[in-house]
Amino acid sequence: MGKYIYTVKSEDAGYTVKEILRRNFSFSARMMTRFKRNDCILLNGAAVRINAAPNPGDIIDIGLPEEESNFTPENIPVIPLFEDEDLLIINKPAGFVVHPTKGNPAHTIANGVARYAAETGQNFKIRFINRLDMDTSGLLIIAKNAPCQNEIMRQMEENKVTKKYIALVHGLLIEDSGTIDAPLGWPDIEQVYRRVVPGGRPSVTHFSVLKRYEKGFSLVELRLETGRTHQIRVHMSHIGHPVVGDRLYGGEDVRLIGRQALHAHFISLFHPVTNRLIEVSADMPEDMLRLLGRLK
């Protein structure tokens, strides 16, 4: 069971426990109800009503209810790059779906995280903050409790979470940097592909060229301002530079790499409890490094 501990400040005078928690944490109304129902909130070590008004210096202690996921543990690679009692950030290998779906009910990253949690003596509900396509590698954020999930989602809505990717794309981009602002839609719900469509959901991708190769390729870094399904893949294809190996959006070339050459290599966010800035990076995977070596 995780804990949130807060020392009441002088500026909190006159506020109730409930109001103080709402002011300082991203607890939803549903979560507050669960706290109340399960007697999770203590004041100076004793149970307290959430409408009580504490004094400066008092300690509010919130013990989070224990939760668990029902994913079957499997031997799927889980590479932790950051972890504490609230948060887990891993480096996902290509070739695995993040979460079980109708078409992929098992052998997912969620199954691997379930095994990792069991092996490390942890019991938490697996909450993926971001998603990556099956053949995209890189950083995945996993919240270990609902308040942590809610806070990071709030940061994402306020554009406080930075996500950067590296991709090898076809062609030589003329501009060293730029922004793709093109709305995305789902033209056929029976198909997986997305498209740039008038009236679609606002979608913004910023790019900068890291290197150009004489053989007709560009290595680019991409920063997402929005996080739509397949956003980078669709946007790069839309401007005539599809991601190498992307069979769905025109970048297929089986001679180069067996998947889209796209890697989520950097994430920064503010820790949902300590508010400390966290920056995590993941090195480019071996298959992309080998590909770049062949282009030199």
Distance CA 204, CA 224 (A): 7
- Which of 35 and 197 is assigned the larger pLDDT? 197
Torsion of CA 145, 280, 180, 194, to 10 degrees: -50
Q: Which domains does the chain have, with CATH numbers?
A: 3-63 (3.10.290.10), 162-264+290-295 (3.30.2350.10)
For residue 223, what pLDDT is reported? Answer: 97
Provide the whole-model pTM. 0.83
**Confidence bin at 92 (pLDDT 50/70/90):** very high
- Which of 178 and 103 is assigned the larger pLDDT? 178
- Average pLDDT rounded to a whole number, residues 234-238: 97
Residue 1 has pLDDT above 80, yes or no: no
Distance CA 217, CA 251 (A): 11
- Average pLDDT rounded to a whole number, residues 277-288: 97
Q: What is the pLDDT of residues 133-185, one digit of tens each?
A: 999 999 999 999 888 898 899 999 999 999 999 999 999 999 999 999 999 99
CA proximity to 291, closest of 250, 252, 251, 255: 255
- Which of 101 and 83 is assigned the larger pLDDT? 83
Q: What is the pLDDT of residues 8-30, one digit of tens each?
A: 999 998 999 888 988 888 777 77
For residue 2, what pLDDT is reported? Answer: 55
DSSP letters for 157-171: HTT--EEEEEEEEES
Side-chain-side CA neighbours of residue 205 (13 Å): 27
Task: Please identify every residue annotated as catalytic.
Answer: 133
For residue 30, what pLDDT is reported? Answer: 73
Q: Are 226 and 202 in contact (CB under 8 A)?
A: yes
- Average pLDDT rounded to a whole number, residues 207-212: 98
Q: Are 51 and 17 in contact (CB under 8 A)?
A: yes
